[in-house]
Amino acid sequence: MISDANAVLQEFTDGDNIADKVQWMFTDEEDFDGPPRKDDSATRVGGHCDPSLIRCKVHGTSMLGFVTGSYLGASKNVQPWVVRVPRRKEGGGGSQPEDWLRGVSMINEKITQKTDVTQAVVCLSWVFRLGDVLPNERFREWQRNLATAITQLIEKGVFVVTGSGNSPIVSSRERLTPSFPTS
């Protein structure tokens, strides 16, 4: 399962045509302009992404390529589930930490049985911009809820991975995981 805003599937029609195998889960019934679409919520409606724009770096689509892509995919025969967060702005993006938590909770609802055998891999390829995540009491509650949800996934035999990139500076680590050592 890929929990991500970015899932442009046109790039996944070569080879085994993984795009035909994707199952979609939507964390919200509405985007800013109506029902959610099977596209990249971090870009404009229709998936238009001008590569010259610095903010248009489809990290999740790249991560999906590492998992299932016809050229780089390490697991070409998987059944991918894309958990799509809402597009909250006309230009794309705008998802909030609560959207991501809802996505992890939906995966927890989908996988119900505990096991010692790995039964799924969840890739949490999220983007938080500076200012999206502010350390306050509400955020600390979100952190605790996210830690609980991820722990539950692990107890159900889910291998949880994260991906970062698209920037030479990864500044969200301390904000998202303050209980982990920073050096």
- Distance between terminal CA atoms of the chain? 30
* Helix or strand holding residue 124 (H, E): strand 120-124
Domains of the chain by residue range: 2-176
Q: Read out DSSP for 62-87? A: HHHHHHH-TTT-S-TT---EEEEPP-
pTM: 0.75
How many Cβ atoms are within 10 Å of 96's Cβ, its own excluded?
15
Asked if residue 39 lies in contact with residue 82, where contact means CB atoms within 8 angstroms, the answer is no
Answer yes or no: are the C-beta atoms of 148 and 104 closer than 8 Å: no
Tens digit of pLDDT per residue, the chain (183 long)?
555 444 445 556 666 777 777 888 999 999 988 888 887 787 777 666 665 655 555 666 667 777 777 767 777 677 888 888 898 888 788 888 889 899 999 999 999 999 989 888 888 877 666 566 666 777 788 888 999 999 999 999 999 887 655 554 444 444 444 443 344
Q: Is 116 exposed, middle or buried (0-12, 13-18, 19+ CB in 10 A)?
A: exposed
